[in-house]
Amino acid sequence: MKKILLLATACLLQTFSPYTAMAQTGQAPQLDLVPLPVKVENHTGVFTLTANTPLVSAPSLTGITELFATMLRAPSGFQLLHATHNSKGIHFDLSPTYNKTLGEEGYILDITPTRIDISANRPAGLFYAMQSLLQLLPKEVEGHELAAHQRWTIPCVKITDYPRFGWRGLMLDVSRHYFPKEAVKKYIDQLARYKMNVFHWHLTDDQGWRIEIKSLPELTTIGAWRAPRMGAWWTREPRAKGEQVTYGGYYTQEEVKEIVQYAKTRFVTILPEIDVPGHSLAALAAYPQLSCTGGPFDVNVGNVFYAREDNALCPGNEQSFELMDKVITEIAGLFPGPYIHIGGDECYKGFWKKCEKCRKRMADEKLQSAEELQSYFIRRMEKIIISKGKKMIGWDEILEGGLAPEATVMSWRGMQGGLNAAKMKHPVIMTPDSHCYLDLYQGDPAGEPLTYSMLTLTSCYKFEPVPNEITDPSLILGGQGNLWTESVPNYRHAEYMTWPRAFALCEVFWSPKSARNWDSFISRMETQLARFDVAHVNYARSVYDAAIKPVKKDSSQPMRIVLTRELDKLDIYYTFDGTFPDNFSPKYTDTLNIPKGADTFRMITYRNNKPIGKMITTSIKELEKRIEKK
């Protein structure tokens, strides 16, 4: 039945998925590519990569061929050489006439037993073809050491591929926790391998200012450092008087230039975010005179804001705009991309209402509310950004009080902000927390590191960036996943929270909507996870776990337990008696009654009679608390 459904989808598109193509020819192996290409035509045979395989291209494309050779060098030991003429080998060519179907990032990858031809309109397309070619090689290509005796074969196919959306991104928050330069490069590498093309770099917030601004050195000498803390976010003790500030770091402008160039060679545009007017406590620690209250301020350590501590720039103070002009001048000079993100989210306006400078500004500008005052601030920011030759992006709160004339809206509080902006003919990037916030639980909280709320792999894969209400779909530039790092203290955990959910998002943003198929995706995802094992990239296996849903009809009824799973072919075994379940324990079939006196619930999932999920343990009291929180 699944093959019939896949075939019907393929016929509708007049394309072939890797799965249908293989089913028709009876050939193996499957092409477990992520994201799913638009069209795959299968041929017989394989191409064998050897140390003598030439990489053939015009001299202007040697950067791409050298990058490909570099990626292969460690696992294969091959020193592949560039050539400008050869009848065999791997050929990288730009199309002499523009292929409208392929657009700016599409490609054709044609593999025969004696030669590989890669063609595209632009170098970006050649790069994305290269990513598909790498995925067609054995998983050992992902390794960092020589894979001795490995035969480097590639199945013969012809792939025609191009993206659904032009904006395909991931955001990394480096303010809550600083990630060194090499970690940032690794994140860019990983997103580029799956054909994402935007790295949104959240550089400033209440917990740290992470980029050097030469004209304002205190932003990093003071704002980049805070008192060291561990433990749950928002439960931490504030910095004590005289306590040393030793936790943090920042990127020098030379490091930023290096990262920008690194991203450029991978056809990734970096979107820098300087979050204002709220989320500005790190900046106010350095320049307290720019607040409404005057400070003093400490960089936040992850403690709650007592009595709504002031963390916003004062829009009534002209010095706030003078500071931001200096910041944006230097940011615009560092980042060649067309956009600068100014945040604009979650700004507490209580202190503005009490501030004499703000009240005067409102009177002078005939502003009727604090929301209109924020809009005034955002419009001033847009003028600064435009004066530097850039365009402005902000979170959907910038709609409040009136949208700046040329702004692009990044919609995170659901889809409505994006809908509203599109109705006003503004470009939109869809990134709703319900489908794109990678800092949320991806499995049952009892089996995951502490965070909040829930975003499963299924929810990511079901995301549709273009709502039915949109009359002009071209205004939806695309979407991105966002990794906020309040609960992500190190890079290995950043990987765990990103993958495999980012696989789902990259397929949503690249592949045809009508080709989406959950079972196909899971099979291809598992192949990619095996490649991650070789590459030593961390990832979550939460999709293999069950989730616990305590239920109670009313307060007079005893609590019962419902278990849910994302994958159909999983068996769940459980115990209430404190022992560790296995496939000889009771098997879940329906809602569970809790035995009298039971205080602990454990469960584990099996597939094909082998354990595949985590052993998850929780107390009955914790499950009762879940019901109380509803």
Strands 476-483 and 428-430: parallel
| Distance between CA atoms of residues 169 and 167, nearest Å | 6
154 contact partners, CB below 8 Å, separation of at least 6: 46, 47, 48, 49, 111, 116, 133, 136, 137
456, two tokens: 């499963």
Residue 461, classified by CB atoms within 10 Å of its CB into exposed (0-12), middle (13-18) or buried (19+), is buried
Annotated active-site residue 279? The verdict is yes
Annotated active-site residue 346? The verdict is yes
| Distance between CA atoms of residues 119 and 570, nearest Å | 43
- H-helix segments, 14-163: 18-25, 62-76, 123-136
Q: Rounded to the nearest 10 degrees, how much is the dihedral formed by the CA atoms of 571, 524, 454, 516?
A: -110
Mutual angle of helices 2-13 and 18-25, in 10-degree steps: 110
Q: Which of 256, 431, 278 is nearest to 343 (CA)?
A: 278
Choosing from 200, 279, 341, 435, the catalytic residue is: 279
411 DSSP β-pair partners = 430
Instruction: Please state the φ and ψ torsions of residue 106, each to the nearest 5 degrees.
Output: -80, 170
- H-helix segments, 137-252: 181-193, 218-221
Q: Radius of gyration of the chain from Cα atoms?
A: 26
Annotated active-site residue 396? The verdict is no
Choosing from 32, 161, 173, 205, the catalytic residue is: 205
Choosing from 182, 346, 582, 599, the catalytic residue is: 346
User: How many CA atoms lie less than 13 Å away from 107 in the CB half-sphere?
Assistant: 29
Q: Rounded to the nearest 10 degrees, how much is the dihedral formed by the CA atoms of 572, 575, 581, 584?
A: -80
Q: Which of 450, 381, 414 is nearest to 622 (CA)?
A: 450
Instruction: Please state the φ and ψ torsions of residue 246, each to the nearest 5 degrees.
Output: -120, -5
458, two tokens: 């299924």
Catalytic residues: 205, 279, 346
